[in-house]
Amino acid sequence: MTPLEIAGVVVSALGIWLTARRAMLCWPVNFLACALYFVLFFQVKLYADMVLQALFGFAILYGWFDWARGRDDSGAVIVAPLAWSKAALGLAIGALGAVAIGTLTSRYTDAALPWMDASLSSFSLVAQVWTARRHRESWLLWIAVDVIYVGMFAFKGLLLTAGLYALFVALAVLGYRRWTRAMRSVSV
């Protein structure tokens, strides 16, 4: 447990909590969390997750812009439905990304867990795009990915980060519930 990991955990937890609450402040906080974890993952040779943090940075900028445009008259961020066809396409892209990233990291790097890291990274990127587009289903994908991340980080000895991802699972459940209520309140 390093000071960098501690800072990453605190900032990340705050960012996800703000995201679950649909607060615009989540975007700059999550951007800082990405920067901290980019450095940490480089240090522990989880290269796919390191690159994922850079890609998250771009997705965060996109999400910040999309959320600013996707608010109702009161300023609340509107939750948008995700069509089954787009969900299937996103999951297919996640699977293709996992194969591509896994192939590269297993052949050309000394990555610690190339296939698991690649799969989690690819599907996390899909979940991040869905979050940026304000789809409540993003939380279901986050739950699945984060449960597996807990095990990977525990295996790598990043116990505080494993604990953070366990907290992410709980926050994702909270986010899903809150975003479901927000969708229902618009439908009524």
pLDDT for res 52: 80
Give the DSSP letter string of 87-117: HHHHHHHHHHHHHHHHHHHHHHS--SSHHHH
pLDDT for res 98: 96
Query: Helices 3-20 and 26-43 meet at what angle, rounded to 10?
Result: 150
Give the whole-angstrom CA distance, residue 52 versus residue 177. Answer: 26
pLDDT for res 172: 95
pLDDT for res 188: 53
pLDDT for res 187: 61
Asked if 162 contacts 147 with a C-beta cutoff of 8 angstroms, the reply is no
pLDDT for res 169: 96
Mean pLDDT by 10 residues, the chain (188 residues): 89 93 94 95 83 89 90 88 97 97 91 91 94 95 97 90 91 94 78
Domain boundaries, the chain: 3-187
pLDDT for res 106: 92
Instruction: Copy the structure tokens of residue 59.
Output: 């997705």
pLDDT for res 126: 96
